[in-house]
Structure 1
Amino acid sequence: MDRWYWCDSSLTFGEIVASTAKSIRLYDGDKKTTFEDGHLTLTNLRLLWRHESQSSSLGLHLGLVALVEEEPGGFTSSPKLILHLAMPSHTQPAGPVTTSHNSHIKLCFKQGGCSSFHQGLQKALTDQEWEKLTVQTTPTNHQTNKRPQGKTIHTGILGIERAIQAKQQQTNQNISRAFEDLKNLMDLAKDMVAISKSISSKMKERSGEVSADDTTQFRSYLLSLGIDDPVTRETHGSATTYHHNLAREIANALETPVKEAGGVMLLSEVYCRINRARGLQLLSPEDVMNACQVMKQSNQSIHLHTFESGVQVVQSVGLDQEKVMKDTVEALQRYETLGMSAGDLARECGLPLLLAQERLLQAETCAEAVRDESSQGLRFYPNLFFTRDAQ
């Protein structure tokens, strides 16, 4: 507060009002002062703060402002601007405080407008009009606050350390609030699952009074909620039991999506889909892998399959391999002249690129395709040698 000085509210020569704000409280460093609910005026040369009950104003020359930071508001706090200041000259008029240990002040905006005022202040600091104007002073407004030529503005080590400490405190507060919000979200999710189960059981009891369209629509709402009671280690004991139950959960959740994808789904996509369905009860890649490995033992509708190249997928038990091969050969025949790359097959059949490549390699293994590897990449053609030999 030792950078502020008493003055009247009249503007000096060449001074222009740039922005105003109401209900502003002044801080000396991080401590509140008694200067609150005042009217703040930003000019091209100064900051002026005045309370309605006071005839004089507090002035702060913009030449002393070295750095401006914006501190966001919280649930119980208002947004603030932090002004890091240089030392005032010895000829500065008297102010409310003779000396201060703080090298920064804060402006608290109780009624909003912090961001817009910040923009105006930054523009004024960039323009540096006080360097271009020779401000004349009178005994009424004490004297000019023109910064001496050649004086370097700096905040000092103490000011920088305080700014870093303030940022760290604000970050810690934001993280704490984020975890509180996450806990509330988890509690809310549990309540929603309980409500969905209750409504679902009531609909089963009153199945004759609910139309088929309403039932279909409500079931779609329930599916969008994901898995209502996910398998966890805490509820299913040993690792073996846990992985078998987890395999059953994954198979039930992904049976339809796997069929819609052509009967095959990459293990990476399985991991993403099951975690999205489980919501907050996320699985590790290792748990998903172990669960997929025991699917075949527990007679699930889908099971893990590993290609010769090492690529692992989850595929439907009843997948017709002959039909898959037939579709691949038909696609190859459409590209008989130019040859087909993995990208071409992926676009033709709507497959992931990795699965498309595995289909072409499998067709080559079955003597249904031949390869042409050149500087332009790897392309496959129908095996005409095999066709002619068969004829």
Structure 2
Amino acid sequence: MDRWFWCDSSLSPGEAVAASAKSIRLYDGDKRTGYEDGHLTLTNHRLLWRHESQSSSLGLPLGLVVLTEEEAGGFTSSPKLVLHLASPPPGHPAGPVATSQASYVRLSFKHGGCSAFQQALQTALEARAWENAAPAQLPNSVKPPGSKKIHAGIIGIERAIQAKQQEANKNISHAFEDLKNLMDLAKDMVSLSRSISNKIKETSVSADDTTQFRSYLLSLGIDDPVTREQHGSATQYHHHLAREVAGALEEPVREAGGVMLLSEVYCRINRARGLELLSPEDMVQACNLMRRLDLPLNLHTFESGVQVVQVTGLDQDKVVKATAKALDGHEVDGMSAGDLARECGVPLLLARERLLQAERCAQAVRDESSEGLRFFPNLFSSRS
């Protein structure tokens, strides 16, 4: 809120109204403020917010707006427009608060119209009409009581700093536009690569080349990740998310021996989704639905609480036998979880769970000493 300043609502020369909205609440970052049910006006120079009970308005120069984002509303929340702001330049007029820890503000649209207002705001930001206005002072600012006249030399320095700040804001805006274009281009590249992959299947290409090309496709990620905005309810969102995770990671899980730690699954799927990152809660809920949806992967929880995603129908007896086979030949020195992890190429946590599971199935015995926990083949069961 330190970027807002008190001003009157009259328009300066060259300033024109672009859009307006009613019943708007102001947030200082994620924190609610007492500024609610106000009228929001967008001009080609600034944003104006005023409540009917107030004689003056709160103004926000558009030159401070770096990036805009829209937050969809929920069952009990209104849609919001997030404005990421640059630091206020020296000599910025006084506002409702002196300093703020948040570098962004949120505008809550109680009666809708958030998307249309964002489009109008984006158009005004691209036009940058305020750069042609007189730079002597921000338009129609209300001077705080007791303000004194400032020396012309200091004003000149402040103008130079403000010009540099505006140039930096312009460069940042162009950088975000380039990032958006890069994201659109990445989606086109994924679609093109999949088209080429389908053509490769129809022609005579070696199996090694096909495998290598598929690995390239996997590194490109998911071109159209599932999002909450695409589905009306959280249940439908988690159903589609479960299918996306199973489809994207079935082959990597099989290559890892049929089992993969849930933490690794979370990292891999977020890497594939790019900027559309998942929360841990959404990831767990989606994996919990895999078994019910009869997907090729499902969530399994060991007795210790460690969770993994494994191939559906994985024979646990085979896993225990493979662990017991790895213990053969280690009757004297035994194996630690680290030894099994290096030999089988699995994460350390998963190797420990495999050894504990083999112990529960009487295929291994343990020895716990000052040197740590080591496991040995169960020679007692083999002799019985």
Q: Normalising by structure 2, report the TM-score.
A: 0.53
Offset at residue 169 of structure 1 (A): 7.3
Judging changes above 3 Å, is the alpha-carbon distance between structure 1 residues 387 and 282 closer, same or farther for their aligned structure 2 residues?
Answer: same
Q: 1:185 aligns with which of 182, 185, 188?
A: 182
Residue in structure 1 matched with residue 100 of structure 2 by the alignment: none
Q: Tell me if 1:301 matches 2:299.
A: no
Offset at residue 223 of structure 1 (A): 3.8
Amino acid at match of 2:347: P
Judging changes above 3 Å, is the alpha-carbon distance between structure 1 residues 377 and 174 closer, same or farther for their aligned structure 2 residues?
Answer: farther
What are the residue-to-residue correspondences of 1:1-391 with 2, within 5 Å?
101=153, 175-196=172-193, 203=199, 207=202, 210-213=203-206, 216=210, 221-388=216-383, 390=384
Amino acid at match of 2:341: A
**Cα distance in structure 1, aligned partners of 2:183 and 2:174:** 14
The alignment partner of 1:234 has SS state of helix
- Is contact 1:231-1:242 (8 Å) kept? yes
Amino acid at match of 1:235: Q
Offset at residue 377 of structure 1 (A): 0.9
The alignment partner of 1:344 has SS state of helix
**Cα distance in structure 2, aligned partners of 1:335 and 1:223:** 39
Moved more, 184-193 or 356-365: 184-193
Offset at residue 265 of structure 1 (A): 0.1
Offset at residue 195 of structure 1 (A): 4.0
**Cα distance in structure 2, aligned partners of 1:255 and 1:222:** 14
Judging changes above 3 Å, is the alpha-carbon distance between structure 1 residues 211 and 224 closer, same or farther for their aligned structure 2 residues?
Answer: farther
Moved more, 355-364 or 326-335: 326-335
The alignment partner of 1:371 has SS state of strand
Judging changes above 3 Å, is the alpha-carbon distance between structure 1 residues 374 and 179 closer, same or farther for their aligned structure 2 residues?
Answer: same
Judging changes above 3 Å, is the alpha-carbon distance between structure 1 residues 315 and 220 closer, same or farther for their aligned structure 2 residues?
Answer: closer
Alpha-carbon RMSD across the aligned residues, in angstroms, is: 3.4
After superposition, give the CA deviation of every residue in 1:95-125 in whole Å (9 maximum; x if it has no partner).
xxxxx958xxxxxxxxxxxxxxxxxxxxxxx
Residue in structure 2 matched with residue 35 of structure 1 by the alignment: none
Moved more, 373-382 or 182-191: 182-191
Amino acid at match of 1:279: G
**Cα distance in structure 1, aligned partners of 2:364 and 2:196:** 55
Offset at residue 211 of structure 1 (A): 3.7
After superposition, give the CA deviation of every residue in 1:185-220 in whole Å (9 maximum; x if it has no partner).
12222333454466667x49x94xx44459937655
**Cα distance in structure 1, aligned partners of 2:333 and 2:168:** 59
**Cα distance in structure 2, aligned partners of 1:196 and 1:299:** 29
Amino acid at match of 1:387: S
Structure 2 unaligned regions, length at least 5: 1-151
Count of residues in Structure 1 that have an aligned counterpart in Structure 2: 232
The alignment partner of 2:278 has SS state of coil
- Is contact 1:186-1:280 (8 Å) kept? no
Offset at residue 172 of structure 1 (A): 5.4
Offset at residue 255 of structure 1 (A): 0.9
